[in-house]
Amino acid sequence: MSGTTLNPQLPKSSVQRTYKALIADDHDIFRHGLKTLLNKYPFINFKGEASNGKELKKLVIKHRPDIIFMDLHMPGGHGVEATYEILENYPQIKIVVLSFYDDALTVERMMKLGAVAYLTKKISLKLLDAMFDNILNNLPYISPDAANNVALHKILPAPSSAPAMPEQCQWLAEEITLREKQVLKMTTQGFSQKQIAAQLHLSARTIETHKEKLMKKLGAKNQAELISMAHEYKLV
């Protein structure tokens, strides 16, 4: 975090109430630093912190927060899956993604999934003020370094010889089990649920469960989007 002097003065229209906040990150030092930072904002009512996805889900049920500052890659449920599940049950919660990743694919996926902001962990305190000014007025926010990558992704053509797996998306591939990869590959090849079940010697219900888990992990809303994302992230 930068040493920039913090000046948490936002428009009065943004701070007419307090906002219950949670932090979810598996790095103790980062959680402590962010908590110290948030305590300087009078409109933030810090309610708790989690080091993994399971702890976060318990805190969400207990406190019903207004804002969650969430690391994208945590043990016990990564950010994509956690965002999907939380917003499915509590659509009013504002999720601010925190990540070392700034690639366009990851940023776009999280924003489409429903996150209100995407911050890389090298963000300055001055930009944190700008983020609050946006999200508390129901506007999205992406830190400039990540936003530049998104803009370039939309403008520049894809390289003709792209690597089999973009380095930035490696975290996502690691979250998918071998069985889920098999189901995903066969789904992209056009096999039906019953055909996949027969070839893998599993029940159709089991295949359906694998697909549901895949959609949560990738943030896909339906099978067509799941197939599209599998190709986009080069998972098959």
- Lookup: tokens for 35: 């908590």
pLDDT in tens, 220-229: 888 888 888 8
Mean pLDDT over 140-169 rounds to 61
Mean pLDDT, range 27-32, rounded to an integer? 90
With 0-12 CB in 10 A as exposed, 13-18 as middle and 19+ as buried, what is 28?
A: exposed
**What's the token pair of residue 17?**
């109430």
Q: Does residue 112 surpass a pLDDT of 80?
A: yes
Residue 126 has a pLDDT of: 82
Which pair of structure tokens corresponds to residue 106? 């990851």
176-232 is classed CATH 3.40.630.30: no
Q: Write down the pLDDT at residue 169.
A: 57
More confident residue, 218 or 85: 85
Q: How many CB atoms lie within 10 A of CB 83?
A: 24
pTM: 0.68
Residue 68 backbone phi and psi in degrees, to 5:
-125, 125
Average pLDDT of every residue of the chain: 81
% of the chain residues with pLDDT over 70:
81
Does the pLDDT at position 3 exceed 50? no
Alpha carbon distance 230, 162 (integer Å): 15
Write out pLDDT tens, residues 115-148.
999 998 876 778 889 999 999 999 999 988 788 7
Of 68 and 11, which is predicted with more confidence?
68
Between 111 and 146, residue with greater pLDDT: 111
Distance spanning both ends of the chain, measured CA to CA: 37
pLDDT of residue 132: 93
Provide the CATH topology of domain 12-153: Rossmann fold (3.40.50)
Give yes or no for a contact between 59 and 22, defined as CB atoms under 8 angstroms apart. Answer: yes
- Which tokens hold the place of 60? 């969400």
Cβ contact 112:104 at 8 Å = no
Q: Binning pLDDT at 50, 70 and 90, where does residue 45 land?
A: very high
pLDDT category of residue 150 using cuts at 50, 70 and 90: confident
**What percent of the chain has pLDDT above 90?**
35
Residue 209 CA to residue 46 CA, distance in Å, equals 36
Domain ranges of the chain: 12-153, 176-232
pLDDT of 175: 74
